[in-house]
Amino acid sequence: MMPGKPVADAVFADLEPRVLALRAAGHNPGLGTILVGSDPSSAGYIRMKQERATQLGFTNRHVHLGDDATQADLIAVIRDYNTDPDIDAVLIQHPIPANLDYEAALAELDPDKDADGAHPMNMGRLALGMPGPLPCTPAGIEALLAFYEIPIAGREVVVLGRGFTLGRPLSMLLSLKRPTANAAVTVVHTGVPDWDRYTRRAPIVVAAAGVPGILQPEHISPGAVVVGGGVRYEGKKLLPDVDVRCEEVAGWITPRVGGVGPTTIAMLFRNTVEAAERRAAGSSVASRRR
């Protein structure tokens, strides 16, 4: 098994002295969160993130907009966070109600305050291999594979799913020339009729489709490394992409609960601390690149 908690614990252990150094220099890291609507799963995720921010001693601001919130209401909160000197990073909890435009709201966010690494500018930085906040779930998966010493460089990784929050950025991240990546990445999706032909040959498979139980034991090779990144909720019930019987075939596999989730949250706080370090130094991502 590859549980995410030990990975997250290692990340937070690395962040603790950095937070203390920032605080000693008079800059307390600040996280701003936005929840729109009444989705219970989203509310639960925000609550976990707020609790962790409190544990770390962060400045912790939260705005909860109701189901009747307008696009203008959401943009007003984002702009307020953009100019708040106590807030280093901002998270817009996704998904938001269908009547609102998430991409348009995200574009309003200061990309240097992007806690989730999802801003179009940061996606562009990722594609070009430039410094910037990394998407949290993909970065968490990279950290998880590195922690368990799964060889990545030069090997094929098949990502099942092409969504903009996971499959697409993960494929870019794992193909970058960096010590914990440098893989040959193949992206398949439900529009590929024989997608299992690719997953069966791959030593590493990441399920990121958001389709419950899509990855079955017959879709992977014996001894493969399997990461379950995609999930869907049915009420409060968690429905992962990876069928539990894959444990009988895989060599390494993330657990049904507690796999990628803890590492995603850890990466959110790593992005926040890095944003605080940039602001404390009086620089931006762009200026640090020069």
pLDDT tens readout for residues 164-196:
999 999 999 999 999 999 999 999 999 999 999
Q: Please check the confidence at residue 286 and state whether its pLDDT lies above 70.
A: no
Question: What percentage of the chain has pLDDT greater than the value 70?
Answer: 97
77 phi-psi bin (left φ>0, alpha ψ -120 to 50, beta other):
alpha
**Dmax (CA) of the chain:** 57
**Can you read off the two tokens belonging to residue 142?**
């990279």
Confidence (pLDDT) at 237: 78
Q: Please check the confidence at residue 39 and state whether its pLDDT lies above 70.
A: yes
- Give the residue-averaged pLDDT of 73-92: 97
pLDDT tens readout for residues 121-130:
999 999 999 9
Degrees (nearest 5) of the Cα angle 168, 172, 174? 115
For residue 27, which of 89, 81, 79, 78 has the smallest C-alpha distance? 89
Confidence (pLDDT) at 42: 87
* Residues 143, 212 contacting (CB under 8 angstroms): no
Q: Is this prediction's pTM over 0.85?
A: yes
pLDDT tens readout for residues 226-273:
999 988 777 677 889 999 999 999 999 999 989 999 999 999 999 999
What is the Cα–Cα distance from 133 to 278, expressed in whole angstroms? Answer: 11
Confidence (pLDDT) at 287: 54
Confidence (pLDDT) at 232: 78
Confidence (pLDDT) at 282: 85
Q: Which residues pair with 61 in a beta bridge?
A: 32
- Label residue 112 exposed, middle or buried (CB < 10 Å: 0-12, 13-18, 19+): buried
Confidence (pLDDT) at 285: 66
Q: Please check the confidence at residue 288 and state whether its pLDDT lies above 70.
A: no
Residue with tokens 């150094």: 21
Residues 6+ apart with CB under 8 A from 29: 19, 22, 56, 58, 59, 88, 89, 272, 273, 275, 276
- Give the residue-averaged pLDDT of 98-117: 96
pLDDT class of 284 with cuts at 50, 70, 90: low
Confidence (pLDDT) at 290: 37
pLDDT class of 104 with cuts at 50, 70, 90: very high
Residues of the chain with CATH 3.40.50.720: 136-256
- Cα 229 from chain centroid? 10
* Residues 154, 166 contacting (CB under 8 angstroms): no
* Residues 165, 139 contacting (CB under 8 angstroms): no
Q: Considering the domain 16-111 in this protein, what is its CATH number?
A: 3.40.50.10860
Residues of the chain with CATH 3.40.50.10860: 16-111
Q: Please check the confidence at residue 115 and state whether its pLDDT lies above 90.
A: yes
Q: Please check the confidence at residue 289 and state whether its pLDDT lies above 50.
A: no
Confidence (pLDDT) at 12: 97
CA dihedral 137, 44, 106, 269 (to 10 degrees): -50
Class for the domain spanning 136-256: alpha beta
Q: Please check the confidence at residue 43 and state whether its pLDDT lies above 50.
A: yes
